[in-house]
């Protein structure tokens, strides 16, 4: 971990640049090996050189609109789900979700319906015309940390974070699956992650950047937690609709539209669709090969880390996060409450399943300790 911290301290502010000049700038940055390619420390953020050039070009060329809505996430934090929910909510009058036999989400990936602002620059081209062609208000996605966003962006932002221990598991699975010929041992991936060296990491800086902006401007930045959304998806769909300025009417609520949005965008529904289970996406991955949409779906579970991390590993990552989130106030407290709400939901569901009205906590934990 010392190596990661040392390099983090040596981070330099990178000016936006293109072409050979951009390559020269990237060549001067601190580097680290371990992932599928060399990572560079671009203004405090670890990423591969291709991503760094893309970020640089976004900052230089992207033309934001005041009515844009940016869906921001650290990789493997529920990005696909957030995009699907936001698209379904914002476009429900044009594309009804009740009896949605022809809804775009049934035939297109959420990543095609809500494109990333940084990916059009992957091949060092000017701003992709596709982004300019999207009618306002645009829903756009990004994995960029807040401090690297184009300085002209003043739009609303929805940020979704997730339990870091679940993130490291999903990151490891994703990288081993999406990059042909690449395989990384889990212990190695874990150490890199704890050191802060992961795609768009360190994860704590990513979280804090958007959290601090949320504290400063709560009406412009909505900060959500994956565990909370899993515990109460309908409540968060309503919250998202309010933030997107398309609140549900009483008639919609009575008609079950909120529940239909949840159902349409559920992991079970989306992951089984042909477009998401077998179709090759029209985008390229980090290794410049076509990506299958299926790589964006694994389990969609909470606390899956229990099946992978040893007690020592869990404590090590928790300690790193604890140290980095000191002084963040409700961000740390909110994470602890997320765990409480999840366990409470599981307890209620277990009682309903067993028909017990007087279930003891001891019995519940005895039968569910592995996933809790």
- Residue numbers annotated as active site: 143
Q: What is the DSSP letter of 266?
A: S
Within 10 Å of residue 138's Cβ, how many Cβ atoms?
20
Structure-token match 């809505």, residue found: 69
∠ CA 43-202-281, rounded to 5°: 90
Residue 359: half-sphere exposure toward Cβ, Cα within 13 Å: 20
The span from the CA of 283 to the CA of 120, in Å, is 9
Q: Are 189 and 258 in contact (CB under 8 A)?
A: no
The span from the CA of 85 to the CA of 264, in Å, is 8
Q: Are 47 and 200 in contact (CB under 8 A)?
A: yes
- Which pair of structure tokens corresponds to residue 42? 């671009």
- Which pair of structure tokens corresponds to residue 322? 């604890």
Peptide bond into 221 cis (omega under 30): no
Please choose, from the candidates 286, 278, 281, the residue with its C-alpha nearest in 3D space to the C-alpha of residue 179.
286
Please choose, from the candidates 301, 370, 323, the residue with its C-alpha nearest in 3D space to the C-alpha of residue 163.
301
Give CA 121 to chain center in angstroms: 20
| Cα separation values, 360 from 224, 340, 348, Å | 31, 17, 12
């Amino acid at each position: 971990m010392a190596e990661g911290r040392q390099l983090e301290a040596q981070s330099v502010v990178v000016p936006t640049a293109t072409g050979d000049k951009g390559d020269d700038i990237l060549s001067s940055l601190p580097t680290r090996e371990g992932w599928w390619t060399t990572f560079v420390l671009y203004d405090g953020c670890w990423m591969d050189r291709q991503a760094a050039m893309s970020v640089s070009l976004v900052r230089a060329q992207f033309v934001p609109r005041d009515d844009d809505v940016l869906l921001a996430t650290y990789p493997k934090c529920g990005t696909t789900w957030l995009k699907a929910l936001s698209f379904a909510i914002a476009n429900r009058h044009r594309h009804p979700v009740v009896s949605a036999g022809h809804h775009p989400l049934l035939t297109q990936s959420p990543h095609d319906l809500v494109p990333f602002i940084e990916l059009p620059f992957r091949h060092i081209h000017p701003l992709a015309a596709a982004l300019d062609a999207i009618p306002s208000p645009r829903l756009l996605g990004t994995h960029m940390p807040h401090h690297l966003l184009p300085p002209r962006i003043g739009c609303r932002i929805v940020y979704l974070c997730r339990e870091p221990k679940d993130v490291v598991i999903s990151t490891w699975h994703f990288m081993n699956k999406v990059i042909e010929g690449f395989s990384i041992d889990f212990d190695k991936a874990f150490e890199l992650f704890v050191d802060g060296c992961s795609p768009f990491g360190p994860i704590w800086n990513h979280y804090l950047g958007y959290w601090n902006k949320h504290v400063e401007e709560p009406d412009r930045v909505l900060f959500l937690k994956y565990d909370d959304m899993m515990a109460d998806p309908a409540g968060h769909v309503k919250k998202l609709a309010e933030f997107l300025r398309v609140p549900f009417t009483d008639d919609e609520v009575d008609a079950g539209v909120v529940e239909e949005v949840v159902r349409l965008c559920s992991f079970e529904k989306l992951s089984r669709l042909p477009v998401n289970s077998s179709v090759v996406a029209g985008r390229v991955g980090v290794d410049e090969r076509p990506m299958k949409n299926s790589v964006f779906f694994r389990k969609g579970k909470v606390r899956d880390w229990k099946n992978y991390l040893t007690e020592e590993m869990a404590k090590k990552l928790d300690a790193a996060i604890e140290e980095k989130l000191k002084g963040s106030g409700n961000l740390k407290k909110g994470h602890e409450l997320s765990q409480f709400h999840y366990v409470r939901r599981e307890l209620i569901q277990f009682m309903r399943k067993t028909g017990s009205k007087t279930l003891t906590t001891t019995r519940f934990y005895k039968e569910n300790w592995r996933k809790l």
